């Protein structure tokens, strides 16, 4: 079971990036991709990993932390087994390693320990 995050990079403040997360394999530990709620977390240097955004199994529900509301958009394509995080109006404080995670549940969770599978992370650096 693997989640592969990509799309990070260096961008100036005010710019945009789109992160992608690909789920490998036909099924996730015997369950299909759309059985899983997906989330994006981030970890800045010297800080704890924090929840950023989540999306329900169907894509019908999303949740964002306040600092990214109106700037970030999470989406998913169950047929392609992909999750995306569109990040606009980036700020230097968005600089972090971003991780995608999967949770075998139909409800969005915000705690790290509630997710079952993790990607390796992709670095986003926003310069001022």
> Tens of pLDDT along 15-43?
999 999 999 865 665 678 888 899 999 99
Measured distance CA(128)–CA(120) in Å, rounded? 26
**In the prediction, which pLDDT does 1 show?**
62
Tell me the β-bridge partners of 4.
22
pLDDT in tens, 83-111: 999 999 999 999 999 999 999 888 999 99
């Amino acid at each position: 079971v693997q989640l592969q995050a990509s799309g990070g990079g260096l961008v100036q403040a005010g710019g945009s990036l789109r992160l992608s997360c690909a789920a490998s394999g036909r099924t996730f530990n015997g369950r299909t991709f759309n059985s899983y709620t997906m989330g994006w977390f981030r970890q800045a240097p010297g800080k704890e990993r924090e929840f950023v955004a989540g999306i329900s199994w169907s894509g019908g529900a999303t949740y964002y932390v306040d600092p990214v509301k109106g700037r970030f958009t999470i989406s998913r394509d169950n047929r392609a087994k992909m999750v995306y995080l569109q990040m606009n109006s980036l700020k230097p404080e968005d600089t972090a390693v971003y991780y995608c995670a999967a949770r075998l549940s139909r409800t969005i969770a915000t705690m790290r320990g509630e997710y079952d599978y993790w990607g390796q992370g992709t670095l986003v650096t926003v310069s001022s």
